[in-house]
Amino acid sequence: MKPFAIITVLLLASSLVYASAYTQLSGTYRIGGKTLYDPPENEPQNTNIYFELSGSSAKDLYQTMAVKPQKEVCGETGTQTKTKGNMQCTLSSGGKEYRCWFGIDLKNQKIVNGVVC
């Protein structure tokens, strides 16, 4: 086998190993109803799960989103926000803190908005 082919096979194999590895994530979650805030009292409050990611998991998701960041969508001056469908990630004005929000509609198995702004 030629050296180039060997290197290509090794790179592909290492990327497959990396792609299948799970990484610890940090953040919070909550179980709620169909609307994130001020849910109607007559609706069930266990239909959705909402996530807020932080740290390296939020950074990885932010960097993976193939959209241009928008300045100051919500939050403090200088923040950069990326939105893809119902997922939203923000990079702080200092460029050090990442946070992401999304929810899952448990009945319909769909990603829903997980942040108010």
Query: Looking at residue 73, what is its pLDDT?
Result: 85
Note whether residue 104 is domain-resident.
yes
Q: Look at the chain and report how many structural domains it folds into.
A: 1
**Confidence grade of residue 72 (pLDDT, cut at 50, 70, 90):** confident
Specify which residues 52 forms β-bridges with: 28, 101
Residue 2 located in a structural domain: no
Asked, for residue 49, whether it belongs to a domain, the answer is: yes
Angstrom distances, CA of residue 102 to CA of 50, 51, 53, 106, 115: 6, 6, 9, 13, 7
Which residues constitute the domain of residue 58? Answer: 25-112
Does 105 map to a domain? yes
pLDDT of residue 54: 96
The answer to the question of residue 14 being in a domain is no
In a domain, 58, yes or no: yes
Q: Report the C-alpha gap between 117 and 24 in whole angstroms.
A: 27
Question: 102 by DSSP, 3-state: which?
Answer: strand
